[in-house]
Amino acid sequence: MTGDVEPDQVTAEPVGEQLRQGRERLGLSVSAIADEQHLRPSVIQAIENGDYSKIDSELFLKGYVRAYARQVGLDADAVIADLNRELEPARQQKELEHQASPLVSIERKKRRKRQVAKLLLALLVVALVAYLIAGYLAEPGTDGEAAPGAETPAGTVTPDQGQMSDGQDVQPVTEPNDEFSGAEQPLPEEGSSVPEIERVPPADPLEPEPTGAELEELPADRVPAVTQSTEPALQEEQLLAPAATTEARLQIAFSGDCWVQVTDAGGSRLVSGLRRSGEQLDVTGDAPLTVVIGAVSAVESIRFQGETLNIGDFRVVNNRSEFTLEL
């Protein structure tokens, strides 16, 4: 029938209206809901009226709505699903505005230029490595083979030259050195006296080194003195400075339900979720730690590196505070 309505076409009631009906069904007031969540009544009224712009972020909005739904006995997951459908048009509008922003276009161009530069650098490195490898492989081998065209040392006869045309082998002949050759010396003139060759007395033979027994028999003035001049190399001691630690510890005790998020220096989210009354949070991470507390009034105590901090020292807006803790 044309009058039937398909299940997918049924439009669920707004999340704020669902929460209001649940609250009125239990006979609770806006102030009672706000006190339970440690929020201002104006925040609860904004949620019921669907005026989500008064909430700082979508993350906090979902936390408040989930806690509100559980408080009035509704299915929190179903309510959050309806909330996502309500927020989808606003998300798309923000995405369009973000894409139309000139800053986004400039950033996209910069990102593309950086990618092209990295690609060109990688190609340059690969080409340089290939060139070095090709040059290394093209070098002549070092296996002892003579390079072609190398000159033969003067005064030597190669094996090929040692073969006569008639097949007889000829021993290689080396040219005598000018300094030690028996070149013709001029004969002394007749009547002249030939000087006698000066004879050099033979050098004294080297005496063998005395053994241990002979050293004992030698007189003290003839015992060779053995000195050892070893200069040990001085080694400088390198004192390693202890590495500076950046690990920090954060402890928070809660007196009521509170949403909390903790992020470390690297951007890793250490904690993100709702904490119940009486629970304690103990987390460790690289400093500085960025802390976001959704309900400041639900925090009983906060300690950082073992020291108690005063939550009143941080800026609080709508019972919410966001601050950074450094060592």
Region 247-325: CATH code: 2.60.40
CA distance 258 to 8: 36
DSSP per residue, 62-105: HHHHHHHHHHTT--HHHHHHHHHHHHHHHHHHHHHHHHH-HHHH
The packing angle between helices 15-26 and 76-100, to 10°, is 150
What was the pLDDT predicted at 222? 55
Please give the model's pTM, rounded to 2 decimal places: 0.31
Place of tokens 């080694």: 235
β-bridge mates for residue 275, sequence order = 258
CA distance 181 to 263: 94
Q: Where are the beta strands (DSSP E) in the chain?
A: 247-254, 258-263, 269-275, 280-286, 289-293, 299-304, 307-309, 316-317, 320-325
Q: What is the pLDDT of residues 40-52, one digit of tens each?
A: 999 999 999 888 8
What was the pLDDT predicted at 7? 39
Which of 322, 250, 324 minimizes the C-alpha distance to 292? 322
Residues in the chain: 327
What was the pLDDT predicted at 190? 52
CA distance 248 to 286: 6
CA distance 260 to 294: 6
List the chain residues with pLDDT less than 50: 1-10, 144, 146-147, 149-150, 152-157, 159, 161-167, 170, 172-173, 176, 178-184, 188, 192, 194-198, 213, 215, 226-227, 229-230, 232-239, 241-242
The structural architecture, per CATH, of the domain 15-99 is: Orthogonal Bundle (1.10)
What was the pLDDT predicted at 311? 84
* First-to-last C-alpha distance (Å) of the chain: 71
| Sheet with 289-293, edge to edge strand ranges | 269-275, 258-263, 289-293, 320-325, 316-317
Strands 269-275 and 320-325: unpaired
The answer to whether 248 touches 327, Cβ cutoff 8 Å, is yes
CA distance 87 to 77: 15
* Preceding omega of 219 cis (within 30 degrees of 0): no
